[in-house]
Amino acid sequence: MRRILLHIDCLVDGTGFMESPAALLMEGDSVVQVGSPQSIGPIDELQITQIHGTVMPSFVNAHTHLDITVETSLPQPMEFVPWVKEVVAPVRRNQTADEIKAAVQRGAQLSKEGGCFTVGDIAGSLDAVRAFQESELFGISFLELIGTGTRNANGLQLLDELPVGCGVQPHAPYSCSKQLYEASFSSGRPIATHLAETLDEIECLEQRTGSIVEFAKTIGVWDGEIGHDRIHPVDAICDVATRPFLAAHCHYIEDRHVERLHDCGVSVVYCPRASAFFGHKQHPWERLLEHGVNVALGTDSILCLDTSDRLTVLDDMRYLIQKGASTKTVLRMGTINGAIALGLDPSHYQLTKGKIAGLIQFSDPVHRGFDSISNSHELPTPVTL
Ligand SMILES: [Zn+2]
């Protein structure tokens, strides 16, 4: 296998590791040695390839919806239910298989352009699952299931027909029955779900009233007998969870839920810019991290972001840093924690010996190391091995 010796101005990763100047001996897509140029020294018959700038492992976007990566006018911040009705529904309506495939391909391209080579993709159809699996991205496609009323049987049937390597996403506690969640946990497949995303969701689960119920009634899909007890959505899903799962959002949890999520082995995916778009404030991500909950980063779909030319958690890291977060913490969330959330080997997202899921490079000569994330607007490029 091809060996390559890189000399690099600066190497960093999400463990807080930094070496400057640095050397990296690669064999194919595996790290053989990492350290200072002196510690590795010259290698017989290998020319040194010099990289000016900062190199780090590629990023992980643990929650997005690639199949709605369509060109649209920049949306203004709005509430969740009107956004579903006015922005997402027109895109999904009558979307052909070719259009779905094109949207996933565009999403994959915009992900790579932002340094995200690994994605947890929520697929609205089997066409979207196939398009993801044909892309060059690492990660998992979770087929989204809706399971209320007459659609419950359809959701259960889809579970039996899923392609190999595909995860499953019961959409949310208000749109999927308890039975469908139980079947999803029994399926043995990786599981993701939206959870505690809005106050409307809490009202819907606890009281069966509110704007989600009204919206579901207007489109003829409301089912008052979804099977969940009239309790907080975190409790409803943790009650049926038989193994760890990935929960997107978790904005609206009670103090006691921090321990509950930890005990259930839940990975929470926080989507900071999407959260701000919908007007949610004070996400408990720091409290969750302090209590040992794995918190990863996601972008959610491009239809609630102000960056139409890329789809990357790098922008979410920079957003959080502007709000005072530590660069090392957000880099961990956008690499190692994302891998853990998706059930991937986290060592592939740090600079230790062994396989690595791609390296990216920032060339800015002024902002080096962790500064290439915190004090620069530069987008990374892939390191070709
Ligand atoms: Zn989502």
Name the helix (H) or strand (E) containing 35.
strand 30-35
> Omega into 21 within 30° of 0, i.e. cis?
yes
* Structure-block tokens of residue 219: 């489109």
User: Is the confidence at residue 383, as pLDDT, over 90?
Assistant: yes
Rounded distance between C-alpha atoms, residue 154 and residue 172, angstroms = 16
Please indicate whether the domains covering 3-57+349-382 and 59-325 agree at the CATH topology level: no
Which of 219 and 97 is assigned the larger pLDDT? 97
Question: Per CATH, is 59-325 categorized as 3.40.50.10860?
Answer: no
If you search the block for the tokens 């918190």, which residue do you land on?
A: 295
Over residues 307-331, mean pLDDT: 96
- What's the gap in Å between 236 CA and the centre of ligand 1? 19
pLDDT of residue 60: 98
User: How far apart are the CA of 47 and the centre of ligand 1, in A?
Assistant: 46
Q: Tell me the CA–centroid distance for residue 270 and ligand 1, in Å.
A: 10
Tell me, in angstroms, the distance from the centre of ligand 1 to residue 8's CA. Answer: 37
Taking residues 305-311, report their average pLDDT.
91
The pLDDT of residue 125:
93
Span from the CA of 115 to the centroid of ligand 1 (angstroms): 20
Handedness of CA 214, 215, 216, 218 (dihedral sign): positive
Query: Using N-to-C axis directions, what is the helix angle for 126-134 and 97-113, rounded to 10°?
Result: 40
Cα-to-centroid distance, 197 and ligand 1 (Å): 9
Cβ proximity of 315 and 307 under 8 Å:
yes
Output the average pLDDT for the chain: 94
Question: What's the confidence (pLDDT) of residue 74?
Answer: 67
Counting Cα atoms < 13 Å in the Cβ hemisphere of 226 gives: 32
**CA 247–ligand 1 middle distance (angstroms):** 10
Q: What is residue 81's predicted lDDT score, i.e. its pLDDT?
A: 83
Q: Provide, for the chain, the percentages of residues in helix, strand and coil under a 3-state DSSP scheme, each rounded to the nearest 5.
A: 40, 25, 40
* CATH architecture of the domain with residue range 3-57+349-382: Roll (2.30)
Instruction: Identify the helix (H) or strand (E) that includes residue 337.
Output: helix 336-341
Ordered by start, the domain boundaries in the chain are: 3-57+349-382, 59-325
Instruction: Output the pLDDT for position 111.
Output: 98
C-alpha 231 to ligand 1 mean position (Å)? 22
Closest CA to 174 of 192, 147, 153, 137: 147
Cβ atoms within 10 Å of 332's Cβ, excluding its own: 23
pLDDT digits (tens, 9 = 90+) for 83-128: 888 888 888 888 999 999 999 999 999 999 999 999 999 999 999 9
Q: pLDDT of 174-207, one tens digit each?
A: 999 999 999 999 999 999 999 999 999 999 999 9
**Per-residue pLDDT reduced to its tens digit, 345-375:** 999 999 999 999 999 999 998 899 999 999 9
Contact 350, 57 (CB under 8 A): yes
Say how far apart CA 294 and CA 365 lie, in whole Å.
34
> What gap in Å lies between CA 28 and CA 355, rounded to an integer?
9
Report the separation in Å between the CA atom of 227 and the middle of ligand 1, taken as the mean of its atom positions.
23
pLDDT in tens, 130-160: 999 999 999 999 999 988 888 888 899 999 8
Q: What is the mean pLDDT of residues 336-340?
A: 98
Lowest mean pLDDT among 72-81, 257-266, 301-310: 72-81
3-class secondary-structure state, position 278: coil
- CA 57 to ligand 1 center in whole angstroms: 25
Residues 58-76 pLDDT 10s: 999 999 999 999 987 766 8
Report the separation in Å between the CA atom of 361 and the middle of ligand 1, taken as the mean of its atom positions: 29
What is the bridge-based pairing of β-strands 22-27 and 30-35? Answer: antiparallel
Buried b (16+ CB within 10 A) or exposed e, 137-161: bbbbbbbbbbbbbebbeebbebbee
